[in-house]
Amino acid sequence: MKQLLGHQPIEGRFRDAMQRGRMHHAWLLHGVRGIGKFALAEKLAGMLLCESGSACGECHACQMLKAESHPDVHRVGLLEKKRDISIDQVREVLDFLSLSGAEGERRVVILDQAERLNNQAANALLKGLEEPSAGSVLIMVCADAMKLPATVRSRCLMQHCSPLTENDVRTVLESKLDANIIDLAVKLADGCPGSVSCLEDDSVAKALAEWQRLVEDVTRADIGKVENWCRAHVVSVPHELIVRALLQPVYPRLQDYQGTGFEALEATHKAVKDCLRWPGEVIRQSLRASPTLLSCVLELRTALKSTD
C-alpha cells in the first residue's frame, strides 16, 4: 500500500496498540473534510488484517482489501439520495461485528460520515460500543465529532486528523493534476487536497483559474467579466472554492488595516462574512447562485474601496 501522507502519528499509535495487544474496539478519526481520513481508515484496516501487519499491499489479504472483497471488512456510509445513516445500516454493522472472522480473528467496520447517524442509529450503535464483540474493530470517520452524541464519543478512541502541510498537499496533488494548475490547487486546498479534487476536470480547473485572475484584486476587477463568469460557471465550480479564491487576497489586507475607520472596517468584515455564508444560503434559501454571488462581490468591492 502506498504511503499515506500527513497522518503518521495516528498510524504509529495504531501500530503500537497492535504490537502491545491493546487494540481499542472503536477508533474515531475526526477532522475537516478533504484530508484523507477515509484513506487513513482503509490503511488502518489494512494494517490490522495484513499478513505482515504492515498494510504491505502485496499479500492476499491486502489484495482483497484493495478489491473491496475482504470478507472480514464491511464498509458503510451515507447512501445515495439519503440524508442520514439509518438504524438498519447500524444493525447490519452490529450483526457483522458479532460474526466470527472468515480469514482471521478480526472483523473490521469502516463507518464513513459518522456525523450523519440519525438518533435511532446512534443509540443502536451505542449499545454495540458498550458491549463490543471479541475481535471486532470499528473505525469511524467524521468531519464534525461534536455532531455525534457525547455517549458515543466517550466510548471511542478519538484521533484528531490535522490538515496536511503545504509540501504534503503538493505531493498528493502532483500525481493527480496538471502541472499548470498545481500552484493554484495547493493554494486553494488550504491543507485539504480532497477539497480540490474537482480540478481533475480540466474545464473546472480552467474556470477556477480564470476566476482567480478576475478577483485577484476585486477593487479593480472588471465587473462585466465577473458577471459573465458567474453566469457561465457558477453551476459547475464548487461554491466553497469560488469563495476561497475570492477571499484569499482579502485576508492579508484585513491584517494591515492600521488607521482604518471603524465603520469601514466593520463593513469589510460584514462583506467577508456574507461571502462565507453565500454557499450555505444558496442551498438553505434556494437562492439563485449567479446574481447572489455577484451581489457579494459588489458588496466586498465597495467595502474594500472605503478602506483605501
Q: Which residues, including other chains, have CB under 8 Å from residue 270's CB and lie 6 or more apart?
A: 299, 303
Residue 191's alpha-carbon distances to 50, 100, 183, 212, 224, in angstroms, are: 30, 40, 13, 18, 33
Cβ atoms of residues 107 and 99 within 8 Å: yes
What does the pLDDT look like over 11-66, one tens digit per residue?
999 999 999 999 999 999 999 999 999 999 999 999 999 999 889 989 999 999 99
pTM, full prediction: 0.88
Cβ atoms of residues 37 and 29 within 8 Å: yes
Residue 217 pLDDT level (bands cut at 50, 70, 90): very high
Half-sphere exposure (Cβ direction) of 108: Cα atoms closer than 13 Å: 26
Cβ atoms of residues 305 and 260 within 8 Å: no
Give the least confident one: 6-15, 52-61, 143-152, 164-173: 52-61
Q: Decide: residue 182, CB within 10 A, 0-12 exposed, 13-18 middle, 19+ buried.
A: middle
pLDDT of residue 255: 74
